[in-house]
A and B are shown apart, each in its own frame.
Chain A
Amino acid sequence: QVTLRESGPALVKPTQTLTLTCTFSGFSLITNTMSVSWVRQPPGKALEWLGRVDWDDDIWYSKSLKTRLTISKDTSKNQVFLRLTNMGPVDTATYYCGRLRTTSNSFDYWGRGTLVTVSS
Chain B
Amino acid sequence: QTVVTQEPSSSVSLGGTVTLTCGLTSGSVSTGYRPSWYQQTPGQVPRTLIYNTNTRSDGVPDRLSGSILGNKAALTITGAQADDESDYFCLIYMGDGISVFGGGTKLTVL
Q: Which residues of A contact B (CB under 8 A)?
A: 37, 39, 46-49, 52, 54, 58, 60-63, 96, 101, 104-108, 110-113
Contact = CB atoms under 8 A, between A and B. Distances in A.
A110 B46 contact: yes
B1 A63 contact: yes
Interface of B (DSSP majority class): strand
A60 B91 contact: no
Contacts of B40: 47
A62 B101 CA distance: 11
A58 B98 contact: no
B21 interface: no
9 contacts: A37-B99, A39-B46, A46-B89, A49-B100, A52-B99, A58-B97, A63-B98, A106-B36, A110-B46
Interface of B: 1, 34, 36, 38, 40, 45-46, 48, 51-52, 55, 57, 89, 91, 93, 96-104
A107 B104 contact: no
A49 B91 contact: yes
A105 B102 contact: no
A107 B97 contact: no
